[in-house]
């Protein structure tokens, strides 16, 4: 009897744990559908068993065909993950080494660069080959049916950088990987993937279907992105697609098939354990962890596969990015998972970048300009340019008008921008950047705002949203900025705190002389602790607040009042004794600025809304 009761209790507990994230994800789907931000399929599985399988929207609006749980969706760059697996299989079989050059396997490759680019550099986007998209692609995309058809799009282009010296997202590199797979196997890329990946995994609804092929239950992408800018309503994306996808992307699959793929991968059915570990971590020996997120996106295409054992989350959409990535982010929050370690590729939008690639922790110099952290970044392969990194900036990236003009960034829309006061907001143009590279971290397909001019020598601002799938550290004492995968440990109320983002900026609760107050963590502010002026009368101050300075934001100018506190302020485990407080009239919340942060190592985990303060 006792055994029965315990088992029953465990069953109830397990059901409740599963039900809660399902309810949260369902609520996120409902909201996205109500706001016309999502059309597609969401599947959440635990150990391969679906906990949630839901289809919404139309697969083909012109024919009135709705999406179904088994509808086939364009995967975009998720096909690169299959290519990565195929390379691992051939390496495990001793048919190639990841240190081999292109030339070893493609002796007729029509460029001398084949003599110095390795397979590993192709996989890591460190080859310098660049992209396949551009005028040549648009002129010939309807005739691209084999991998060899793609080669003329880039084979005669000079390298963007010396192999191994930089990292930049490269679709061309994955075309070459597909050609290597074909040469070694003696099969077409499509047949190899069918025989060695999809069939062994039991994936019966996955293939690189041709655009003109009659494929039952295939979704048609719907896009608002036109060649000259935003469209007034969604249109079919068929005219923008190649005749057939490639080893770089564009194949089709279902949510259930991607769960089957995940289970086969985790069970080491597709590769030996050592090489499966390599796929997840980039390491052949001493690898730890099998969490990863892969995704793809283009006009009318957005797909996300999150592998976080025991869970698999699949979000497939036939709307523009970030339709799937937004729901995947909500799914990660519901499950309490970060974004994994190892290389991460994803497709997002205003809430996050398109592709993110990181091979491990990256550390770069960080200097201060007028108290604000500044780092260098490249945009569209040009630069480096100087960007402020401002946790008080609620967007991803903002560039000056001069930089937008220099780079000829295309306009894709508009947004409303301003400060937390909500006053004097202004319309800002949204531009599109193919890439933003910070050190060896690559962000692809990034939507950026065009702001006003900044301090002399500053080309723009980067916010925490750019790092939505990573963790970032402001190491003030060592003048260093760090980017890494993974996540922070759960909040403990001392070193690690939970924050909210009601207005796009991390907001925590602090204790000021026994009163709980909301404050933004704002690396762009010069303050120690700044609070709304309306709160001054409720605090034990040594003196009446008086004007001590003047401030300015994107939309407002204001006086700054100051007065010393009689007592303590607590930020987690950090205590400030009798600090001088600043007071500002126009802002509804306070902030912690440079004078608080300057002696700390501050790490943000945007995916899980956590922040850690460490005093060395």
Task: Express each pLDDT in 375-398 by its tens digit.
Answer: 999 998 889 999 999 998 888 899
pLDDT digits 0-9 by tens, 158-193: 888 899 887 777 899 999 999 999 999 999 999 999
> Does 326 fall in a domain?
yes
Same domain, 162 and 248: yes
Q: Is 133 part of a structural domain of the chain? A: yes
153 part of a folded domain = yes
Give the pLDDT confidence score for residue 170 in this predicted structure: 85
Predicted local confidence at residue 409, as pLDDT: 87
Determine contact, residues 494/572, Cβ cutoff 8 Å: yes
Does the structure show a pLDDT above 90 at 560? no
How many structural domains compose the chain? Answer: 3
Which domain-ending residue is among 290, 313, 348? 348
Q: Is residue 57 part of a domain?
A: no
* Same domain flag for 480 and 500: no
DSSP 188: -
- The band of 6, judged by pLDDT with boundaries at 50, 70 and 90, is very low
With a pLDDT cut of 90, the percent of the chain lying above it is 58
Please report, for the domain that includes residue 227, its CATH number.
3.40.710.10
Q: Is residue 250 part of a domain?
A: yes
**Who has greater pLDDT, 418 or 281?**
281
For 484, the 3-state DSSP assignment is strand
Q: Are residues 441 and 510 in the same domain?
A: no
What pLDDT score was predicted for residue 39?
Answer: 97
Dist CA 322 CA 224 (whole Å): 12
* pLDDT, the chain, mean: 86
Q: With 90 as the cut, is the pLDDT of residue 115 above it?
A: yes
Q: What are the pLDDT digits (tens) for 456-472?
A: 789 999 999 899 878 99
Does one domain contain both 478 and 514? no
| Top-ranked range on mean pLDDT: pick from 48-52, 435-439, 586-590 | 48-52
Q: What's residue 193's pLDDT?
A: 98
Phi/psi for 334 (5° steps) reads -60, -35
Residue 141: count of CB within 10 angstroms of its CB: 19
The larger pLDDT score, comparing residue 468 to residue 540, is at 540
Calculate mean pLDDT across residues 399-412. Answer: 88
Mean pLDDT lowest among 18-22, 188-192, 468-472, 584-588? 18-22
- Please state, in angstroms and as integers, the Cα–Cα distance from residue 360 to each residue in 117, 133, 277, 509, following that order: 21, 28, 15, 32
pLDDT band at 132 (very low <50, low <70, confident <90, very high): confident
Query: In terms of DSSP H, where are the helices of 186-271?
Result: 189-193, 199-201, 255-266
Give CA–CA dist 145/143, Å, rounded: 6
Question: Residues 88-94: what's their mean pLDDT?
Answer: 97
Q: What does DSSP say about strands 229-236 and 372-379: parallel, antiparallel, or unpaired?
A: unpaired
Query: Is 47 a member of any domain?
Result: no
Asked if residue 480 and residue 331 are part of one domain, the reply reads: no
Is residue 340's pLDDT more than 60? no
Model confidence over 23-33: pLDDT tens digits?
999 999 999 99
For residue range 413-427, list pLDDT tens digits in order: 666 555 454 444 556
pLDDT, residue 64, reads 96
Q: What is the DSSP letter of 584?
A: E
Last residue within a domain, chosen from 321, 348, 375: 348
Size of the chain in residues: 616
Give me the domain span that covers residue 479.
362-484
What is the reported pLDDT for 341? 35
**pLDDT band of 15, cuts 50, 70, 90:** very low
3-state SS, residue 415: strand
pLDDT at 242 over 60: yes
The token pair that represents 348 in the structure block: 């997002």
Q: Pick the more confident residue, 349 or 125.
A: 125
Around 545, how many Cα atoms within 13 Å sit in the side-chain half-sphere? Answer: 24
Rounded Cα distance, 475 and 601, in Å: 4
The proportion of the chain whose per-residue pLDDT surpasses 70, expressed as a percent, equals: 89
Q: Which of 167, 165, 169, 161 is nearest to 346 (CA)?
A: 169
- Counting Cα atoms < 13 Å in the Cβ hemisphere of 350 gives 15
Helix (H) or strand (E) holding 378: strand 372-379
Tokens coding 533: 């002026």
Biggest CA-to-CA distance, the chain: 83
Note whether residue 55 is domain-resident.
no
469 & 527 share domain? no
DSSP string, 251-316: -EE-HHHHHHHHHHHHTTSSS-HHHHHHHHHS-SSS-----EEEEEEETTEEEEEEEETTEEEEEE
CATH number at residue 539: 2.40.70.10
535 and 514, same structural domain?
Answer: yes
| Distance from C-alpha of 494 to C-alpha of 510, rounded to nearest angstrom | 11
Tell which of 430, 459, 484 closes a domain.
484
412 and 337 housed in the same domain: no
In this structure, of 129-133, 213-217, 381-385, the range with the lowest mean pLDDT score is: 129-133
Cis peptide before 384 (omega within 30 of 0): yes
Question: Does residue 252 sit in the same domain as residue 137?
Answer: yes
550 in the same domain as 407: no
Q: How confident is the model at residue 554 (pLDDT cuts 50, 70, 90)?
A: low
Average pLDDT over residues 575-585: 91
Does one domain contain both 329 and 378?
Answer: no
> Does 58 reside within a domain?
no
Q: 502 and 466: one domain?
A: no
pLDDT computed for residue 287 by the predictor: 61
């Amino acid at each position: 009897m006792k055994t029965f009761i315990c088992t029953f209790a465990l069953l109830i507990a397990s059901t409740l744990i599963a039900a809660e994230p399902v309810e949260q994800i369902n609520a996120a789907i409902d909201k996205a559908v109500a706001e016309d931000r999502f059309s597609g399929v969401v599947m959440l599985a635990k150990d391969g068993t679906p906990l949630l399988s839901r289809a919404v929207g139309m697969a083909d609006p012109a024919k009135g065909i709705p999406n179904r749980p088994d509808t086939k969706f364009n995967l975009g760059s998720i096909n690169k993950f299959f290519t990565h697996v195929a390379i691992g299989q051939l390496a495990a079989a001793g048919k190639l080494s990841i240190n081999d050059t292109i030339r070893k396997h493609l002796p007729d490759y029509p460029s001398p660069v084949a003599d110095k680019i390795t397979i590993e550099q192709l996989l890591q986007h460190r080859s310098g080959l660049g992209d396949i998209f551009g005028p040549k692609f648009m002129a010939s995309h309807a005739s691209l049916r084999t991998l060899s058809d793609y080669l003329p799009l880039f084979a005669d282009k000079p390298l963007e950088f010396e192999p191994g010296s930089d990292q930049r997202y490269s679709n061309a590199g994955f075309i070459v990987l597909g050609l290597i797979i074909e040469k070694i196997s003696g099969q077409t890329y499509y047949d190899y993937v069918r025989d060695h990946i999809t069939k062994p995994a039991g994936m019966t609804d996955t293939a690189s279907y041709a655009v003109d092929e009659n494929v039952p239950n295939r979704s048609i992408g719907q896009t608002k992105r036109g060649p000259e800018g935003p469209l007034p309503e969604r249109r079919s994306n068929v005219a923008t697609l190649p005749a057939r996808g490639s080893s770089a992307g564009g194949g089709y699959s279902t949510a259930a098939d991607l769960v089957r793929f995940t289970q086969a991968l985790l069970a080491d059915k597709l590769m030996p354990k050592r090489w499966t570990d390599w796929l997840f971590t980039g390491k052949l020996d001493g690898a730890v962890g099998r969490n990863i997120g892969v995704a793809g996106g283009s006009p009318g295409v957005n797909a996300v596969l999150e592998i976080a054992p025991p869970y698999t989350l699949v979000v497939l959409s036939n709307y523009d990015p970030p339709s799937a990535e937004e729901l995947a982010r909500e799914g990660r929050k519901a499950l309490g998972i970060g974004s994994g370690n190892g290389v991460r590729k994803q497709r997002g939008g205003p809430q996050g970048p398109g592709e993110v690639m990181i091979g491990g922790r990256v550390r770069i110099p960080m200097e201060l300009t007028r108290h604000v952290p500044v780092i260098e970044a490249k945009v569209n392969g040009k630069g480096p340019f100087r960007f402020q990194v401002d946790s008080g900036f609620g967007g991803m990236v903002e560039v000056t008008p001069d930089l937008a003009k220099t780079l000829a960034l295309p306009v894709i829309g508009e947004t409303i921008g301003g400060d937390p006061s909500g006053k004097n907001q202004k319309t800002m143009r949204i531009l599109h950047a193919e890439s933003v590279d910070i050190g060896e971290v690559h962000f692809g397909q990034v939507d950026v705002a065009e702001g006003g001019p900044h301090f002399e020598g500053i080309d723009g601002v980067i916010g925490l949203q750019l790092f939505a799938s990573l963790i970032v550290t402001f190491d003030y004492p060592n003048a260093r900025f760090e980017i890494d995968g993974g996540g922070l440990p759960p909040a403990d109320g001392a070193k690690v705190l939970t924050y909210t983002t009601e207005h796009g900026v991390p907001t925590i609760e602090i204790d000021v002389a026994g009163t709980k107050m909301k404050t933004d963590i704002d690396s762009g502010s010069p303050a120690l602790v700044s609070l709304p002026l309306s709160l001054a009368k409720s605090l034990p101050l040594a003196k009446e607040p008086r004007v001590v300075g003047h401030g300015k934001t994107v939309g407002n100018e204001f006086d700054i009042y100051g007065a010393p506190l009689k007592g303590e302020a607590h930020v987690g485990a950090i205590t400030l004794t009798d600090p001088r407080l600043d007071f500002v009239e126009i802002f509804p919340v306070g902030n912690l600025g440079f004078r608080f942060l300057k002696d700390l190592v501050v790490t943000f985990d945007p995916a899980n809304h956590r922040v850690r303060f460490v005093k060395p």
